[in-house]
Structure 1
Amino acid sequence: MRTTLSRSLVFVSALALSGGAIAETDDQPVMIEIKRLSLDTALTIARTAIEACREQGVQVAVTVVDRGGHPQVVLRDVLAMDLALEVSYRKAYTAMTFTSNTSSLEDRFTGPFSVGKIDNVLLSAGGVPIQASGETVGGVGVSGAPSGEVDENCAQAGVAAVEMDLEMASF
């Protein structure tokens, strides 16, 4: 018992000392500025994606997530299936998490215990990351079209509608 306690105290002391050394050498700020999408920007992305799909005769659901993967805007067109809501969220979450269009991830994780089996990750076309000056600020997912390619084109149209604004806001 005494040996275990001594080892624990030595370990904790070493850990505390090493943490102190790291804190002294790094000049970490006390607070970090984090860029976030405004509600109006997220809404513009979602509305534009819906309109792009409507132009193709398709009714879909669209979810825009923030940089933490939390839904910021969720829209479902009148005839889009209820299931499309969950699928659009998962596509948006996946695009934001992997900073990549979800179509490029479809064949990436094929093992039975791969990342693709984690909750909320959906490796299917229709998700696009939202970036500003190379920094990921969210993701948009579209679901309900006859193909993931159409879903992704609509999602890309939504991002394209605000792309210039996002780049200008970064300066």
Structure 2
Amino acid sequence: MNPKTMSTRSRIIAGALVAAVAGTVTVGAVSANADQPETPAVAVAAKANTSDRNVTTVPVLTIDAATKAAEASLAAANKAGQHVSVAVVDRDGVTRVLLKGDGAGPQSAESATRKAFTAVSWNAPTSELAKRLAQAPGLKDIPNTLFLAGGAPVQSKGAPIAAIGVAGAPSGDQDEQFAEAGVATLGG
């Protein structure tokens, strides 16, 4: 049919059909390509990025090890007749394991987490850090920290990779003993 002799209505319908066919072909091509593996250019670029010298690997405490340590801390507290909560955080202060022991107070879970966060942040037991407040009282204003005894860092080659915090015993010294019992199960 000659486009010059077609009515406006016929031209609109013909144009719509052409657009529909073109769209179907395009969608089909995209769908077919979606099932294809990466092109070599993309694979090469990804491979090149993995050898970037600006990337580092950091040791991480496994979830099994974190759970083992938390359970050991809780068992030490139970043996002493104390009702505590135990938190294990990773190097970034993210909670990996939190155990709220039977009979532990409502504040103990958050306190244990904050003690662990504080210990990993400074790579030191929180009992030592609490003593530093006399020289630097502003430390206590850092969010999510708690400068009370009961937090112990977990180290690998001298660097902090995690920490255990315990809260709920009548004294921070007891909390810290229970935290250290968890660290001891990790072999270091």
With structure 2 as the length reference, what TM-score do the two structures score? 0.70
> 1:60 is matched with which residue?
84
Q: How many residue pairs get matched? A: 137
User: Aligned equivalents of 2:161 and 2:80: distance in 1?
Assistant: 28
What amino acid does structure 2 have at the position aligned with 1:153?
Q
Between the aligned residues of both structures, percent identity stands at: 36
1:114 to 2:138 alignment: yes
In structure 2, which of residues 37, 52, 62 is the aligned counterpart of residue 38 of structure 1?
62
Map 1:30-109; keep pairs closer than 5 Å.
30-109=54-133
Moved over 2 A (4+): 110-113
Cα distance in 2 for partners of 1:126, 1:112 equals 20
- The code of the aligned residue for 2:186 comes to V
2:182 to 134, 138, 158: 158
Residue number in structure 1 paired with 2:173:
149
Gap runs ≥5 in structure 1: 1-27, 165-171
Cα distance in 1 for partners of 2:171, 2:146 equals 15
Instruction: Tell me the SS of whatever aligns to 2:57.
Output: coil
For 1:113 and 1:104, how far apart are their aligned partners in 2?
Answer: 14
**Preserved contact between residue 76 and residue 178 of structure 2 (Cα < 8 Å):** yes
Distance in structure 1 (CA, Å) of the matches to 2:76 and 2:152: 15
Displacement after TM superposition at 1:112 (Å): 8.5
Larger Rg: 2
How far apart are the structure 1 equivalents of 2:68 and 2:177? Answer: 16
Distance 2:79 2:183 in 1: 17
Question: Per-residue CA shift, 1:71-90, capped at 9, x if unaligned?
Answer: 00000111001200010001
* CA contact 2:168–2:175 (8 Å) conserved in 1: yes
Secondary structure in structure 2 of the residue aligned to 1:129: strand
When the two chains are superposed, the root-mean-square deviation of aligned CA atoms in Å is 1.5
Tell me the TM-score normalized by structure 1.
0.76
1:62 alignment partner, SS class:
strand
Distance 1:159 1:89 in 2: 15
Q: Provide the C-alpha distance between the structure 2 equivalents of 1:66 and 1:114, rounded to a whole number of angstroms.
A: 24
- Counterpart for residue 20 of structure 1: none
Distance 2:62 2:100 in 1: 20
- The one of 153, 159, 171 aligned to 1:129: 153
Shift of 1:111: 6.9
SS state of the match for residue 29, structure 1? coil
